[in-house]
């Protein structure tokens, strides 16, 4: 039978002369806009993907396990207030300039001077100095155990390339190369920037001179598109014109793509979904009330709501305040479950009568999934005889209102992740009494024991001591329940069958750091 649709399509296609360069492999993926190319300003997922491919860092998380390995660094030593790193020999920037300790010092100074993105991670670093051409020393103002982990967020920039391209600005450093680096790459990374439009698309090309080499099967060209609609992505993947969808597709679309034969990539271990309770507002200023709500929540239904299929879900059951795999986390088998009997016990011990309660459950307008969780929560609370009210809040309004405890809703729903993979960057901002009133801390928690464990976790000398400190923190957070620990987050990406990404499919190859699994040099094009 003649396939007339294909014939017409072929005729149209031929008339427009669309031909790809012979043998060239192209990987197409998408993310939400915008893609920030300046590595000192990188904070979102798209920025991280660009950063990890165009730039390199001194260390990388160990694949499939805890700790870090040297990347641009050959080795390092130190603890407490000083760390010294020896750089690998023979590493060159994409410009051809050799990597030196001066570049590392410059990269840190630039990040701190711009004060954007994740620069706050390096607030504890007083200075960096080049001991010699291949040795760099960091001086810290106080002991900070997660320092080495923080370095996965310090991309090393080509100082000479930046200095040659300074634009207007105040002082000797003018604009610190912001204009140049917002449109060009100046790293040692496995991919170079061919073109960049922060709202439309970034095109990357394989760097043949990469110091670790890039496999032949890795994509020659990568096209990272921004802001594609779910319907568009679905059609593009179905037509074979797209390879990896962003994690922000609605679960129904991912399910439909999976049914059509798409593979599912996952990235986990860095964050969780939390229902944060305002511990300063009645009735949630009473721990028994909070424990009653936490016990009444239907955790298993919440996880089912985000399931893509029987095997893969956008989250796994929570075991406590700390996601499984991080220091201090509980064993994966210790899943938190709904327990209405216990909820009633706690409610009886609460100083406020259930009949007088009216819990405001907020959800972020930009995340429709949260409305479903709010409805689930409302239904669970009704079983306890507690009234609740659902309130939709745009992110901008939410971020402003949480600054004051009296304006913060009783319950706020948030995805929070550890930007370095270390629990300090997940938990300190959420629970330390010195950091209330940010989007991460609508609990407004002020608990001396929690503070003590958090301080111990960031100053402990050994991994064992850190694990012990976070273990105690986890237990304390379960005891006072400032938060309902919804589920451990797992990002799910629908992908075509033309690409293999071991770091996103094999747990032993996973980095446990958002965006690093998208190191294109580790991917393989199958066609």
Partner 1 sequence: MTPVLRLLARRLGISLIVLIGVSMLVFGIARVIPGDPARIALGPNASTEQIAKLRASLHLDESIFVQYGHFIKDLSRGDLGISLYTNRPVTTDIAQFLPATLELVLVAGVLMIAIGLPLGIWSARFRGRFADHIIRLVSLLGVSAPSFVWAVILMLLFAYYLPLFPIAGRITDTYTIESITGFLLIDTLIAGNFQAFLNAAWHIVLPAFALALSGIGQAARLTRANMIETWDKPYIEMAQAYGYAPARIANRFAFKPSMIPSLTIIGLDFAAMLGNAFLVEAVFAWPGLSRYGVAVILRKDLNAIIGTVLIISAAFLIVNLIIDLLIAFLNPRIRYSQRDVK
Identify which of residues 162 and 419 has a Cβ nearer to partner 1 in the complex.
419
Interface with partner 1, residue 119, by CB under 8 A: yes
Strand 358-364 to 387-393 pairing: parallel
Figure out which of the listed residues 57, 107, 178, 412 binds partner 1, where binding follows CB under 8 A. 178
Distance separating the N- and C-terminal Cα atoms of the chain: 28
Figure out which of the listed residues 62, 77, 235, 462 binds partner 1, where binding follows CB under 8 A. 235
Q: At 411, is the secondary structure helix, strand, or coil? A: strand
Interface with partner 1, residue 276, by CB under 8 A: no
Identify which of residues 13 and 212 has a Cβ nearer to partner 1 in the complex.
13
Q: Specify which residues 83 forms β-bridges with.
A: 78, 138
Interface with partner 1, residue 396, by CB under 8 A: yes
Identify which of residues 8 and 349 has a Cβ nearer to partner 1 in the complex.
8
CB atoms near residue 249 (< 10 Å)? 22
Cis peptide bond prior to 283, omega within 30° of 0: yes
Interface with partner 1, residue 116, by CB under 8 A: yes
Backbone angles phi, psi at 165, to 5 degrees: -130, 35
Query: Can you read off the two tokens belonging to residue 329?
Result: 């986390």
Binding mask 1-40 for partner 1 (x = CB under 8 A): ----xx-xx--x--xxxxxxx----x------xx-x-x--
CB atoms near residue 8 (< 10 Å)? 10
By CB under 8 A, what part of segment 427-466 binds partner 1? Answer: 429, 438-440
Strand 135-140 to 82-87 pairing: antiparallel
Figure out which of the listed residues 49, 214, 245, 419 binds partner 1, where binding follows CB under 8 A. 419
507 touches 325 (CB < 8 A):
no
Query: Can you read off the two tokens belonging to residue 40?
Result: 């000192």
Q: Which helix (H) or strand (E) holds 68?
A: strand 68-70
Interface with partner 1, residue 399, by CB under 8 A: yes
Query: Can you read off the two tokens belonging to residue 14?
Result: 């031929």
DSSP string, 166-189: --S-SSTTTTTTHHHHTTS--S--
Least distance (Å) from partner 1 to the CB of residue 299? 25
Interface with partner 1, residue 200, by CB under 8 A: yes
- Residues that bind partner 1 (rule: CB under 8 A) add up to a total of 59
Figure out which of the listed residues 68, 110, 159, 223 binds partner 1, where binding follows CB under 8 A. 223
Least distance (Å) from partner 1 to the CB of residue 515? 14
Q: At 503, is the secondary structure helix, strand, or coil? A: helix
Interface with partner 1, residue 225, by CB under 8 A: yes
Least distance (Å) from partner 1 to the CB of residue 232? 6
Return d(Cα 237, Cα 29) in angstroms, integer: 10
Which residues would be at the binding site for partner 1 (CB under 8 A)? 5-6, 8-9, 12, 15-21, 26, 33-34, 36, 38, 41, 43-44, 115-120, 123, 178, 182-183, 197-201, 203, 223, 225, 227-229, 231-232, 235-236, 238-239, 241, 394-397, 399-400, 419, 429, 438-440
């Amino acid at each position: 039978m003649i396939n007339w649709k294909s014939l017409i399509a072929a005729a149209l296609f031929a008339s427009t002369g669309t031909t790809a360069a012979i043998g060239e492999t192209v990987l197409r993926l998408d993310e939400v806009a915008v893609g920030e190319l300046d590595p000192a300003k990188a904070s979102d997922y798209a920025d991280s993907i660009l950063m990890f491919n165009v730039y390199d860092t001194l260390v990388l998380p160990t694949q499939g396990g805890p700790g870090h390995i040297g990347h641009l660094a050959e080795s390092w030593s130190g603890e407490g207030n000083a760390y010294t790193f020896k750089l690998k020999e023979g590493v060159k920037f994409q410009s051809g300039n050799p990597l030196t300790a001066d570049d590392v010092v410059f990269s840190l100074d630039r990040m701190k001077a711009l004060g954007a993105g994740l620069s706050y991670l390096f607030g504890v670093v007083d200075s960096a100095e080049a001991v010699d051409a291949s040795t760099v020393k960091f001086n810290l103002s106080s002991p900070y155990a997660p320092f080495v982990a923080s370095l996965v967020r310090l991309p090393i920039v080509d100082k000479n390339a930046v200095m040659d391209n300074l634009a207007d600005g105040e002082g000797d450093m003018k604009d610190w190369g912001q204009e140049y680096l917002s449109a060009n790459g100046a790293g040692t990374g496995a991919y170079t920037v061919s073109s960049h439009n922060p709202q439309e698309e970034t095109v990357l090309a394989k760097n043949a001179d990469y110091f670790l080499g890039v496999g032949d099967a890795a994509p020659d060209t990568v096209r990272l598109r921004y802001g594609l609609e779910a319907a568009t992505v679905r059609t593009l993947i179905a037509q074979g014109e797209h390879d990896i969808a962003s994690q922000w597709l609605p679960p129904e679309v991912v399910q439909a793509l999976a049914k059509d034969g798409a593979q599912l990539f996952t990235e986990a271990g860095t964050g969780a979904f939390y229902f944060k309770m305002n511990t300063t507002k009645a009735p949630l200023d009473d721990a028994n009330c909070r424990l009653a709500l936490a016990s009444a929540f239907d955790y298993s239904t919440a996880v089912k709501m985000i399931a893509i299929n029987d095997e893969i879900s956008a989250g796994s059951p929570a075991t406590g305040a700390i996601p499984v795999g991080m220091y201090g986390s509980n064993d994966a088998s210790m899943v938190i479950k709904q327990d209405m009997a216990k909820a009633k016990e706690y409610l009886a011990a609460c100083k406020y009568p259930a009949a007088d309660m009216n819990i405001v459950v907020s959800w972020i307008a930009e995340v429709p999934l949260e409305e479903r969780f709010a409805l689930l929560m409302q239904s669970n609370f009704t079983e306890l005889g507690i009234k609740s009210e659902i309130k939709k809040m745009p992110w901008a309004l939410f971020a402003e209102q949480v600054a004051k405890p009296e304006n913060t809703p009783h319950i706020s729903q948030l995805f929070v992740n550890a930007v370095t993979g270390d629990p300090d960057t997940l938990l300190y901002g959420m629970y330390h009494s010195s950091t209330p009133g940010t989007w991460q801390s609508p609990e407004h928690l002020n608990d001396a024991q929690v503070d003590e464990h958090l301080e111990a976790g960031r100053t402990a000398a050994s991994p064992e001591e850190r694990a012990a400190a976070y273990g105690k923190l986890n237990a304390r957070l379960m005891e006072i329940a400032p938060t309902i620990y919804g589920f451990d987050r797992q990002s799910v990406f629908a992908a075509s069958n033309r690409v293999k990404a071991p770091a996103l499919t094999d747990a032993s190859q996973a980095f446990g750091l958002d965006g690093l699994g998208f190191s294109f040099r580790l991917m393989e094009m199958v066609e």
